[in-house]
Amino acid sequence: MKKIFIIALLAMGVSAKAQRSYIYVGLDVSKPSAPDFVTSTSSSGVKLGYRYAINEKFSVGLDFNRNTYDHYEPTATYETTSGHMTTDYFAYIYSFGIAASGQYHFKLNNDRFSPYAGLGLGAVHNEYALYYNIYTEGDEQWGFLARPEVGITARMGRSVGAFLSFTYDYTTNKSEYFELDGFRTAGFQLGLLLMNRR
Amino acid sequence: MFKKIFILFPAVVFVLGSCQNEPDDIKLYDELVVSTQYDNDADFSAYQSYAIATDTIGYVSGNPKDTIRVYKGDFPYPRLVINAVKSAIGTNLEQKNIDQDPDVGINIYVVSELNLYQQVVYPTYGYYGGYSGYYYPYTLTYAQNTATLVVEMVDLKNRDAQNRVRVVWSAYMGDVISSVDYEKQSVDAIAQAFKQSSYLFK
């Protein structure tokens, strides 16, 4: 297994001199496309992580993200098993994701900018909550995460840079309690990165 | 330095995660949740008259010696909610005194320091003992500091062999304690309870 890994790295043209890495933190703005349990754009999410450049073309990394999505449903009357219930309510999804990712960097004449496309695979923990008056109902589930991503990094100094990325999160999170199946979000991230150049 | 910052990253995520956004309290508490249940076996069209207490409602708490709330000049709540029920019933049923053999009795009570929510979701329709007046249940179940306004319709026409009466309709309205304006919201909630129970007066 170790040999295969070394061979794979050699095949990608690993060069010790080319090694560099960076950590990043940014605002994560995303909107769920499914389910309709929540509808609002999460504008206060955060995404941060670590990227390690294997060579000029490939990098790998570890990404964390945290987002809150919500929805307000105005007062309505619902039929229950033995009567009716009237209330308004707030629905929330508190989402935390972790993914191992890989990126392919496109070569530009300008070495200040580095556009890339990548894919992250990992897991998402969703906490579902329904608030109405003093009452709360909740559920929480883990799910598989697949996250295609495109973006660009820009070096602004020797060790500091910025990035902009666009992601689509496909997750398998389900909630039997709320009868929700699947969770998808699309968003963009904007932030700073701190490079560790060698 | 670089590694130290990176090691701190997951901690930062979890710290951010602990700062969970929650709904605005004012928006949450400006209306009572109104939940109503009915007995499928009840024939509501058979009821022509009702009885309701005057100026007194029940008060269910952990103290069996403290079971009623009576209207006072500085505490109009019992009369407000009783009048709200009478207004909602309107002319659909004739009001009678309890000794005039009404078809149904209307119980109104506030359950304090008891989270009734589980009962709202999983209601059980039990029987009261011999009905000789307005009967308010007593419970020993405790939960958080809440108050739920309950309105019940008790079938006095169809007593069982043990002279027990059956609750055929219930409205649970809460939470009264957290409400922004508990008097107005209680009155509004009672109106809504009857509105969403149109089968009562067909």
Nearest by CB to A85, from B6, B33, B38: name it: B33
Q: Give me the residue spans of the domains in chain A.
A: 18-197
Containing H/E element for B79?
helix B77-89
Q: What is the predicted ipTM?
A: 0.80
* Cα B130 to Cα A123: distance, rounded to the nearest angstrom: 60
Q: What is B93-146 written as a DSSP string?
A: SEE--GGG--SEEEEEEEEES---HHHHHS----EES--SS----------SS-
In percent, the amount of chain B with pLDDT more than 90 equals 47
Q: Is the Cβ pair A134, B20 closer than 8 Å?
A: no
pTM of the entire structure?
0.79
Q: Is the Cβ pair A87, B33 closer than 8 Å?
A: yes
Question: What residues contact residue B79 under an 8 Å CB cut-off, 6+ apart?
Answer: B55, B71
Containing H/E element for B35?
strand B33-38
User: Domain holding B147: CATH number?
Assistant: 3.30.160.670
* Cα A38 to Cα A32: distance, rounded to the nearest angstrom: 7
Q: Which of B149, B139, B151, B150 has the alpha carbon at shortest distance from B175?
A: B149
**Within a 13 Å sphere around the CA of A159, how many CA atoms are in the beta-carbon half?**
7
* Cα A33 to Cα B143: distance, rounded to the nearest angstrom: 38
Whether the CB of B36 is below 8 Å from some CB of chain A: the reply is yes
Q: What are phi and psi of B88, to 5 degrees?
A: -70, -35
Residue B31 lies in a domain: yes
Domain range holding B179? 24-201
Residue B101 lies in a domain: yes
Nearest by CB to A84, from B20, B36, B174: name it: B36
Residue B7 lies in a domain: no
* Cα B157 to Cα B178: distance, rounded to the nearest angstrom: 37
Q: Higher model confidence: residue B22 or residue A197? A: B22
Question: How far, in Å, are A69, B77, B165, B192 from residue B105 at the CA level?
Answer: 47, 20, 10, 20
Residue B10 lies in a domain: no
Quick: pLDDT tens for B155-179.
Answer: 999 888 888 888 999 999 989 988 9
Nearest by CB to A85, from B35, B38, B146: name it: B35
Residue B14 lies in a domain: no
Which two three-digit tokens encode residue B146? 């809440």
CB B78 within 8 A of CB B69: yes
Handedness of CA A148, A154, A160, A164 (dihedral sign): negative
Q: Is the Cβ pair A84, B196 closer than 8 Å?
A: yes
Q: What is the largest CA-CA distance in chain B?
A: 87
CB B142 within 8 A of CB B114: yes
* Cα B202 to Cα B198: distance, rounded to the nearest angstrom: 7
The pLDDT mean for chain A works out to: 87
pLDDT reported for residue B65:
80
What average pLDDT does the segment B64-71 reach?
Answer: 83
Residue B12 lies in a domain: no
Confidence of residue A81 (pLDDT cuts 50, 70, 90): confident
Q: Is the Cβ pair B21, A87 closer than 8 Å?
A: no
What average pLDDT does the segment A19-33 reach?
Answer: 88
- In terms of Cβ atoms closer than 10 Å to its own Cβ (0-12, 13-18, 19+), residue B182 is buried
CB B117 within 8 A of CB B89: no
In percent, the amount of chain A with pLDDT more than 70 equals 89
Residue B176 lies in a domain: yes
Closest-approach residue (CA) in chain B for A159: B2
pLDDT reported for residue A28:
94
**B100 to chain A, minimum CA–CA distance in Å?**
30
**B160 to chain A, minimum CA–CA distance in Å?**
23
Domain count, chain B: 1
**B81 to chain A, minimum CA–CA distance in Å?**
18
Nearest by CB to A50, from B6, B27, B197: name it: B6
Q: Is the Cβ pair B32, A133 closer than 8 Å?
A: yes
Whether the CB of B191 is below 8 Å from some CB of chain A: the reply is no
Residues of B in contact with A48 (CB under 8 A): 9, 12-13
Whether the CB of B123 is below 8 Å from some CB of chain A: the reply is yes
What average pLDDT does the segment A131-139 reach?
Answer: 90
* Cβ-based neighbour number of residue B124 at 10 Å: 7
Whether the CB of B126 is below 8 Å from some CB of chain A: the reply is no
What average pLDDT does the segment A56-85 reach?
Answer: 93
- Provide the CATH topology of domain A18-197: Porin (2.40.160)
